[in-house]
Chain A
């Protein structure tokens, strides 16, 4: 009994999204709710039957057969009622009774890939894209989606509802974009996956298991893109490389108390070498073609961070940030660039540049300046900026961190 209670959520996580994607291929994306209901019912039935009759030998095959039968029943009913769903059915009308669901690995993967493009769609808000991805591509329950996004059931349900409405309204089809649009549409897909990854990597979510799950799912979907010839573009590998490098430091970023450990104070022994190696593999794989975009630069920065300290390392990081900022400004990149400048050319050079950044409202700006003033032994300015940082910091964790630095000085 207990075994089944544990097994069902596990199977749900891996099989739900596959079945939904394949069913949507048949029903059309506008009927995604029907597909989701059929698959959900399948799992409810599984829980009942397996407890009654014991576990089947091949549970996945059992789920597929039941989902297939339910889909067939549904189509038969709909056909009888001559509902408008009929024109959406792919293949010919005659065969819809004997619906053959193609549950081959290849078709599952293709369907999921098409679903990824449908979900990561400029027609849907970014927040909803992530919620949709977690629900229909990663097989998260509504509660899990809510928990992962630090939200609640009602909000998530609303977001999903609106997203599906949008897909229906704009008649989005489950298909890959035409080849000439792939590169452009991929940008939205990659941004969505990047957000999903960051949700796990940077979010202050207390549950490490959930956060790791989000990172892993983002990477899995990214790998899916590399496995299809038409979507396997260099920038996909670049993003995947970035994710591998970041993930390699997952454990080292927090100490035993759960406090954040700054990059240069991290225990390198905690870095996962296997992920660093994967990061390097995908970085090499990304370095073909003419296009250099921000994921390449960010992956290259992450690569250099895995190297031992040297002037060469910091000069390279500085130049990568110089370029990244030209492509896209962000306050965090501006601060990191200034830190790299200090490492490459000294705090004396970096301080005047830091003062021009116009980021006085951010506590990280002041902790950076405090660090730079410490390097030139200007204790007064160091304290001044730590106090300003304390003033600007919003979270308790950040304030504690800054206070600890101040305490050390007095």
Chain B
């Protein structure tokens, strides 16, 4: 088994205001997708990221981020354990971010020898 990280990115649309029902439905999609991954015994961990944060630059420069400079933001990640990257990609194909026009990046980990 190897671990892979899926990164969810999308361009937020500030115009769009979701109704409470739409928000509920969106949350359910994510929960069911994560639950389905866990039901296959392939789940390792996940987190949704807040939109607000800070970006640290050389010379002790802090900016509000990540909105200020990039259009596309990282919304969250999930780590899975699968035999191959293809299996991880199969899981990624069900990610709800794709319905929002976003995309999923699947990356393996470098094994550091200590």
Binding site for B on A (CB under 8 A): 315, 318-319, 321-323, 325-326, 329, 333-334, 337-338, 341, 345, 353, 356-358
| Residue B40 CB within 8 A of the other chain | yes
User: How many interface residues does B have (CB within 8 Å)?
Assistant: 12
| A357-B36 Cα distance, complex, nearest whole Å | 9
Quick check: A334 and B32 within 8 Å, CB to CB?
no
- Could you tell me the distance between the alpha carbons of A371 and B56 in the complex, rounded to whole angstroms? 55
- State in angstroms the CA–CA spacing of A341 and B28 once bound together: 12
Complex Cα spacing A333 to B32, Å? 14
- Given A326-B35, A356-B40, 5 more pairs with CB closer than 8 A: A319-B35, A322-B34, A325-B38, A353-B36, A356-B39
Chain B residues near A (Cβ < 8 Å):
28, 31-32, 34-36, 38-41, 43, 46
In the bound complex, do residue A322 and residue B40 qualify as a contact, i.e. CB atoms below 8 Å apart?
no
6 A-B pairs with CB atoms under 8 Å apart are: A323-B35, A325-B43, A326-B34, A329-B43, A356-B36, A358-B41
Q: Which one, B32, B39, B46, contacts A357 given CB within 8 A?
A: B39
In the bound complex, what is the Cα–Cα distance between A325 and B32 (angstroms)?
11
Q: Is the CB of A321 within 8 A of B35?
A: yes
Give the residue name and chain of the A residue nearest to B32 (CB): A322
A334 to B41: give the CA distance in the assembly, Å. Answer: 8
A353-B36, A356-B36 given; A322·B31 CB < 8 A:
yes
Across the interface, which residues of A come within 8 angstroms of B46, CB to CB?
326
Chain B residues contacting A318 (CB-CB under 8 Å) are: 32, 35
Contacts of B40 in A (CB 8 A): 334, 356-358
User: Could you tell me if A338 and B39 are in contact, using CB atoms closer than 8 angstroms?
Assistant: yes
Give the complex CA separation of A345 and B34 in angstroms. Answer: 16
A341 touches B32 (CB 8 A): yes
Minimum distance in angstroms from B84 CB to a CB of chain A: 14
A305 to B32, CA, bound (A): 20
Q: By the criterion CB–CB under 8 Å, are A322 and B38 in contact?
A: yes
> In the bound complex, what is the Cα–Cα distance between A333 and B46 (angstroms)?
20
Give the distance in Å from the alpha carbon of A391 to the alpha carbon of B17 in the complex.
Answer: 53
| Nearest CB on B from A106, distance (A) | 45
CB distance from A293 to the nearest CB of B (A): 16
Question: Shortest Cβ distance from B1 into chain A, in angstroms?
Answer: 13
Which of A321, A338, A353 is packed against the most chain B CB atoms within 10 Å?
A: A353
Q: Which residue on B lies nearest to A354, using beta carbons?
A: B39
CB distance from A77 to the nearest CB of B (A): 59
Residues of chain B within 8 A of A329, CB atoms compared: 38-39, 41, 43
Chain B residues within 8 Å of A338, by CB: 39
Residue of B nearest to A338 (CB): B39
- Least Cβ–Cβ distance between A232 and chain B, in angstroms: 31
B31, B32, B35 — most chain A CB neighbours (10 Å) = B35
| Chain A residues positioned under 8 Å from B35 (CB to CB) | 318-319, 321-323, 325-326, 337
Across-interface contacts of B38 in A (CB, < 8 A): 322, 325-326, 329
